[in-house]
Amino acid sequence: MRLLQSSIHPSLASLSGKTFHRRAARAIILRHDEILMLYTERYHDYTLPGGGVDEGEDIEQGLVRELIEETGAQNIQNIQEFGLYEEFRPWHKPEHDIVHMESFCFTCDIDQQLGDTALESHEIQNGMRPVWINIHQAIAHNEHTMATSDKKGMSIERETFLLKRIVAELLPAELQQAC
């Protein structure tokens, strides 16, 4: 899969130290200039649906599982590689210093109607919910959150970068400009 971006969190002086490797699968589901996102109230941001791939699970299996759990997506099909976003961030548990996160992004199609979600308790506590939103509005919202919020999560830079790449590469020219 092509590498879209490799980023290092500014608080990391070096990449030496004990590193935890985490693989995640993220879905890109478009309908014209609307995109299926997860809005998280706690962080006031929009993120692509998806998450960590379980041990022994392949990336596409993880993508399908996460999509069903987080959005209630049904009839997931036409899964195609989009790209990889790699990041190195500080890790919050004492057994590791750094997390090396690889986000494998895929486009796919789903049925119009979403089913019930099966969110994890921390996702519910954080106020996470699936929403269809104009992609330009999601970018503007995330940029505003990055500029003004002290409670933003560490993933918002990744998500905003990915949204901009999606606009540039996947939207038809007439939909690439924000309204």
Q: Length of the chain, please? A: 179
So what's the pLDDT on residue 104?
A: 98
With a cut of 70, say whether residue 121 has pLDDT above it: yes
Q: What is the rounded CA–CA span in Å between residue 124 and residue 113? A: 21
So what's the pLDDT on residue 99?
A: 92
Tens digits of residue pLDDT in 25-68 = 999 999 999 999 999 999 999 999 999 999 999 999 999 999 99
So what's the pLDDT on residue 151?
A: 72
DSSP secondary structure, 98-115, as one string: EEEEEEEEEEEE--SS--
Question: Torsion-angle region of residue 66: left (phi > 0), alpha (psi -120 to 50) or beta?
Answer: alpha
With a cut of 80, say whether residue 13 has pLDDT above it: yes
With a cut of 90, say whether residue 14 has pLDDT above it: no
So what's the pLDDT on residue 93?
A: 83
- Per-residue tokens: 83: 């790209």
Q: What is the rounded CA–CA span in Å between residue 85 and residue 162? A: 8
The residue behind tokens 């379980």 is 54
SS3 assignment, position 178: coil
- Confidence category of residue 179, pLDDT binned at 50, 70, 90: low
* Mean of the per-residue pLDDT values of the chain: 93
